[in-house]
Structure 1
């Protein structure tokens, strides 16, 4: 397969290169998680490393709507080049879980608009959009907790997480765990909420991996911190 010259890269060339990397088995696995592409992510990252940062090309790749192209675009974009409304629109049209996750983690978290978007998305009627707000809130719980109302966050989690749609539930559960891990004064309540709601309690967890069940997750991380 011929690779694309960095200086001459066009959207058509890159789409052709991505199509040549399509692996039916990888697509089958990805589709089980809601992602409609069959490109090995290691190979995708290798293309991004070759292309380096190209904001204009990133926007063109995003505009194709192709999942693999959008993932690549998020790796070669310049996060601070996007304005507030642009990021909001991108999140709402992200579509697949992997594009959504990469957009939040690789782009929005590095943007000067991260906090504004967190507030906008947190209470959005669309649970997928709201899950991005909760992901950004969990980030603040860890890195910049000043000003957060932990009592209110725990109230919402306690009343809504059990029946929340899957992606929103995962984001709320992550936030619950981070509150319990990072903030000892709220740990007892976080553990109590997790125990009573039993969200992800029976989630299959491979050996040597931490369970996503919040009480198990909290206790394991606190134990590790104590032993550090």
Structure 2
């Protein structure tokens, strides 16, 4: 796609709309009907362009915003821009992609984690916990893991769904990657029983933290 405009991209996305897909997506918090493989194909043809990503995001079209997240260069977006994008998401998938494709790869990831951790909005806190999970695994030096566990213990059971899921992920990764805190992480999970009954397909790992920790530690051998 040679020098596409926002209008060009939105027109192509509109042509790819499938009403049945929209009905399914809307039940999961995503107001668009474009097959994600086809949407990724559009983004691949567009190529990387943070300026175009900004313009697509501003058009306030969910499918367009998903393309924006695929064509933006995370290093070219300021912390305030990423924060503003998070607060303007209207899609569960856009929230997930923003966190995974932009915030986690941003040079401002730690600034964003700190900014969002005590935010009044549950979606921002969920993003903070996702960023905390990355630090727990990759750069834990200077991170107060005991304080994170204290907060998980206080808040996990009553946290809203997306925040609860991300917080539980942090709990599991502390147990997996930090043997000195493993027993405490498992004990918290056992006591709170969050996601203990989550349905899991055969040969898949349960998101229930004690089971998740045990399985990943087993694989580490």
Does TM-score exceed 0.5, indicating one fold? yes
In structure 2, C-alpha distance between the alignment counterparts of 1:197 and 1:127, rounded to whole Å? 20
Q: Aligned to 1:211, which of 206, 212, 218?
A: 206
Gaps of 5+ in 2: none
Q: How far is 1:101 from its partner?
A: 1.0
Q: Which residue of 1 aligns with 2:96?
A: 101
Q: Which residue of 2 aligns with 1:200?
A: 195
Gaps of 5+ in 1: 1-5
Q: How far is 1:33 from its partner?
A: 1.7
Question: Cα deviation per residue 1:43-98 (whole Å; 9 max; x = unaligned)?
Answer: 11111111111121111111011111000001011111111211111111112211
Q: Which residue of 2 aligns with 1:151?
A: 146
In structure 1, C-alpha distance between the alignment counterparts of 2:113 and 2:20, rounded to whole Å? 36
In structure 2, C-alpha distance between the alignment counterparts of 1:83 and 1:8, rounded to whole Å? 24
Q: Aligned to 1:185, which of 157, 170, 180?
A: 180
User: Runs of 4 or more off by more than 2 Å in structure 1?
Assistant: none
Q: Does 1:163 align with 2:158?
A: yes
Question: Cα deviation per residue 1:190-225 (whole Å; 9 max; x = unaligned)?
Answer: 101101101011111111211111111111111111
Q: Which residue of 1 aligns with 2:134?
A: 139
Q: CA RMSD in A?
A: 1.0
In structure 1, C-alpha distance between the alignment counterparts of 2:110 and 2:48, rounded to whole Å? 24
Tell me the TM-score normalized by structure 1: 0.94
In structure 2, C-alpha distance between the alignment counterparts of 1:35 and 1:214, rounded to whole Å? 28
Q: Which residue of 1 aligns with 2:66?
A: 71
Q: Which moved more, 1:168-177 or 1:32-41?
A: 32-41
